[in-house]
Chains A and B, each alone.
Chain A
């Protein structure tokens, strides 16, 4: 593996920049041109490298005592840039003990932390620098963790969860008092999830423990760098309470400390708006207050533009589906013609299928491997090592390889299926060729006709370098609850102080006092209106009003359950011999068999014994479920009986969706599309109507003995599913007798027994009323009461907030048990205290998560008064793809009585037939 492959930048390569430039002319008057210390210049020169402009610029920011966000594409030498200030500062210090922790590095992946530590050792050893580097992850032995707290290294590399643990210990003030620098890697990926919330709260704590600390964020290109830069510096600064109690000294938050850095004079936050190296969109992510400040932004330039094309298939393009079977031969040829190819797909099951098919045609015996999150960890490591050693020609992978250790030698990225988002695609493409001055190459393979449109607009977006990363999150209340408990595990805190501290974190900068107090109340006694748990409190106030944990058991439970990653309930999959026929009670099967990996429990729950599905690259037959193990046998079927396409984790971005709508509305732009697609679209214009850029077309038509309603909101599968749930409720009331619906990323089809065409014609069904945003009122409420998706969302909040423990000392509570009990809690809480803080947290998640309600709401407003109805006598060309999903895809009715009635009917038939 290459050491700092990203700084393989030979002086001789012409990338359009000044070679050998070691001093940076800076636009910022605070930053002085920085000469690189002799020892570093020599080290760079000895390797035939020259420091990059942005690396030196970050050094200048550090010298000027500023926090900074580095926006750089993969391969731009981000990691070295992030550590250069630390290495330079530490190189000047004399050898000797007792200096304390200088730099904290946080990565989303522990493997990345370990890899970076290895890479850091090289320059440190070669320059003979007196610097000690250590990692701290879940795998670090307890003895070393304890030693690290007492005798910290100069540089500690770790994860957000480990930081939270460190902060909750009594040693935290000692450990972090010396901290000068924080380096946050892959910040763009961290901030999109609750892990980012947790990290931001950790930062807020560090700003209090070490007011001198400055942050460096490393990020891929994002849509709103300004808003991301806020993450790196304290907001609402200085807090009003600190101003008021300015003279208290020592006790108060952000009071002056021994380092002599006065809080009011703290130089690094920069008020917004201000002149930028690169203009952001200037939109404030959440709060809109005047205290919003951001770190300086440094943009690495000079990256060669990627070369992206769409596979020009000679085969017939499928109408629907996600397998891209038609393009298998062409994908195989691409792998064969290149040295190393990464083949990205959107879901685990697509990866399974593609891998299996590629091997079926692999007459050349190319070394092609499979990598996804459900595979056994050992197996994944093996693939990664083989890849690093250059032994593989291709890896079929999911988002499991979106981030991670750099491999220098990938020369082609193939993205099969929908790209989903422009930024997401660019980051994937960046996985090919980690040398900044060579163009990355990528080929997009659409799996169906709609995906051709999506690929087309995604390529345009890449060429324009248009980004569509989501805006910065508003901090979640369940994560805050976990943090509050963590704080109480360390030094006791005053609510006023902690509230002010929390509001310095960007995601929580707009947190209301009311929400904060509710969270503290929740942590203490559950936050219930019925005050019956005072004597069971987990945290209590002492005589000075400071909150502290009531007993060591609470602390222990916090430590075991820290973190925001709540995994889907997974079952182990083991391969055994088929034992067709037997189907007694569970527990009768002999244990054993080869471990294939893990699978989502909810997928297995939908199967009956004998069903076949694809797993581990082959078609297997479901034999039995014994406790947490699924037994499967090899099946000879060519096609799996139960499809396992569950949709991607990531819905189509709003930005790409809008571009697809514009593309459809503009006939001249169709010239850039393959003939087959152009003909399809033309036929739609002729047979029905092509939706205008801002209009929504609704088609109704009969087919067989049912009546269909198809609409094209283009808002992603999740929002469409929610819409489908709500529409069927309303159609039920309108007596259209709906039977079911199916959604894809672009369209929604609802069918029923009532003749919806006639109903609309006769004025018995009004489309404007049907799609009125008021469906987000009572109808949504009624559905949320029983929605399985909402219960899953609530479960996550219940676990993160610490209401339900995931782990107890020594053993893990069966996940099945946890799932069931949170459903019961949801039902009871919803009825008796609907405004409880956990339900509020779950609602906030539902707005953007599995139910995507906010997007649905935006769409309903967008199409208000712009619905065009087409009454047709048969299915339209544009409707074919979504209609083909029927039967292929689980129908998303949640009416469980129908399913039960069906099973009951079978009994009747058996008895009478």
Chain B
């Protein structure tokens, strides 16, 4: 019997973290919330190239972020890189979305980790900009290096499970107890299979677990059982 639960616990370098069904990570003791790869304004970024995707992705992503912030009421938030889809994305934010973001930032520490999509962030964004942050035994950065205690994003891990001719594919956290890679949070972000070679370079073997974001609950599944 599997208990329905909307979070999984993930231990990284001795620290117990909550992997939330939304794709966010919460460190209870520090009251720290981490989200990765928001890719805000990805829709309008495509639009500049003639692909007119619905312009609602930023609003959708921020409203999910607002929900998880309200649930955990964190003291600090780390956006783990690629928060904006391109260098001009911040300038394209709609007024409403800008307000939502400002409201989320108020009365808490907000740390923007830079990513490959947003290596430079405008000064008027609010919060602190950093390339990485170390807290206790953990270090937070965008691109994973495989270091012990590292929480990273960038790869957009997803896992597929197949049984009896059916398959389900979902975003997931990937962790082997020493390090973790977070799922992408943005509404328009795709994913990379955890069986891709990029993950082999970080975890060295298939001895890691996919904490898969199901429809209504989290599932911890051995990476070797996923595709």
B187 touches A606 (CB 8 A): no
Closest to B54 in A: A829
Residue of A whose beta carbon sits closest to that of B189: A824
Given contacts A608-B162, A642-B165, contact A828 B225 (CB under 8 A): no
Q: Does B125 contact A (CB under 8 A)?
A: no
The reply on A586 being an interface residue by CB < 8 A is: yes
B110 at the interface (CB under 8 A from A): no
Question: What residues of A have a CB within 8 angstroms of the CB of B168 in the complex?
Answer: 896, 899-900
Asked whether, in the complex, the Cβ of B196 is within 8 Å of the Cβ of A586, the reply is: yes
Q: B188 touching A828 by the CB < 8 A rule?
A: yes
Give the Cβ gap from A549 to chain B, nearest Cβ, in Å.
11
Check if A781 is an interface residue, CB within 8 A of chain B: no
CB-based nearest B residue for A587: B197
Q: Do residues A890 and B170 form an inter-chain contact, with CB atoms below 8 A?
A: no
Interface size on B, residues (CB 8 A): 52
Provide the bound-state CA to CA distance between A899 and B168, in Å: 7
- Which of B9-17, B147-155, B173-181, B215-223 binds A? B215-223
B54 lies within 8 A of A825 (CB): yes
Q: Residues 188-227 of chain B: 1 if any A CB is under 8 Å from the residue's CB, otherwise 0?
A: 1111010111011000001001001011110111101111
The smallest beta-carbon distance between B189 and chain A, in angstroms, is 8
Residues of B within 8 A of A905 (CB): 2
Give the Cβ gap from B53 to chain A, nearest Cβ, in Å.
Answer: 6
The interface-forming segment of A224-232, A461-469, A527-535, A712-720 is: A527-535
Residues in A neighbouring B163, C-beta threshold 8 A = 606, 608, 899, 902-903
Decide yes or no whether B160 CB sits under 8 A from chain A.
yes
A605, CB-defined interface residue at 8 Å: yes
What residues on B are CB-neighbors of A530 within 8 Å?
Answer: 55-56, 94
Known: A606-B162, A817-B190. A585 touches B222 (CB 8 A): no
**A585 and B56 contacting across the interface, CB-CB below 8 Å:** no
Q: A586-B197, A824-B187, A897-B215 are in contact. Are A643 and B165 (CB under 8 A)?
A: yes
CB-defined interface of A24-50 with B at 8 Å, one 1/0 digit per residue?
000000000000000000000000000
How near does chain B come to A643, taking the closest CB pair, in angstroms? 7
**Neighbouring B residues of A584 by C-beta, 8 Å:** 200, 206
| Majority DSSP secondary structure for residues of A touching B | helix
Bound CA span A585–B222, Å? 14
B103 within 8 A of A: no
Q: Are A536 and B48 in contact (CB under 8 A)?
A: yes
Smallest beta-carbon distance B213→chain A, Å: 9
Chain A contact residue count (CB 8 A cutoff): 56
Q: Give the complex CA separation of A603 and B165 in angstroms.
A: 7
Which B residues are in CB contact (< 8 Å) with A901?
Answer: 2, 214, 217, 219
A 592-632 binary contact with B (CB < 8 Å = 1; else 0): 00000000001101111000000000000000010000000
A586-B197, A786-B215, A820-B191 known; A899 vs B161 contact (CB < 8 Å): yes
- Asked whether B60 is an interface residue with its Cβ less than 8 Å from the other chain, the reply is yes
- Contacting pair A803 B196 (CB below 8 A): no
Question: Taking the complex as formed, is B71 at the interface, i.e. its CB lies under 8 A from any CB of chain A?
Answer: no
Q: Is the CB of A832 within 8 A of B59?
A: yes
Q: Please determine whether A831 and B56 come into contact, CB atoms closer than 8 angstroms.
A: yes
Tell me the complex Cα distance, A821–B56, Å: 14
Q: Is the CB of A891 within 8 A of B59?
A: no
Which residues of the partner chain B approach A20 to less than 8 Å between Cβ atoms? none
B36 at the interface (CB under 8 A from A): no
B residues less than 8 Å from A606 (CB atoms): 162-167
Decide if A553 touches B50 in the complex (CB within 8 Å).
Answer: yes
Q: Which residue of B lies closest to A827 (CB)?
A: B187
- Given B216, B220, B221, which contacts A897 in the complex, CB threshold below 8 Å? B216
Q: Give Cα A804 to B196, complex, Å.
A: 26
- Near B by CB (< 8 A), chain A positions 775-818 give 786, 803-805, 817
Among B51, B54, B94, B170, residue most surrounded by chain A Cβ atoms (within 10 Å): B54
Interface of chain A residues 387 through 427 with chain B (CB within 8 A):
none
Given known pairs A533-B47, A820-B190, the reply for A528 and B219 (CB within 8 Å) is no
Can you list 23 contacts pairing A with B, beta carbon distance less than 8 Å?
A526-B54, A530-B56, A532-B55, A533-B47, A584-B200, A584-B206, A585-B199, A585-B200, A606-B166, A607-B162, A625-B227, A642-B165, A786-B215, A804-B51, A829-B54, A831-B56, A896-B168, A900-B161, A900-B221, A901-B219, A904-B2, A904-B221, A907-B225
Given A538-B52, A828-B57, A890-B165, 18 new contacts (CB under 8 A): A526-B55, A528-B52, A533-B44, A583-B224, A602-B167, A603-B165, A825-B53, A829-B56, A831-B60, A833-B56, A897-B217, A897-B219, A899-B167, A903-B161, A906-B222, A906-B225, A907-B209, A907-B220
Q: Which residues of B contact A (CB under 8 A)?
A: 2, 44, 47-48, 50-57, 59-60, 94, 160-170, 187-191, 193, 195-197, 199-200, 206, 209, 212, 214-217, 219-222, 224-227
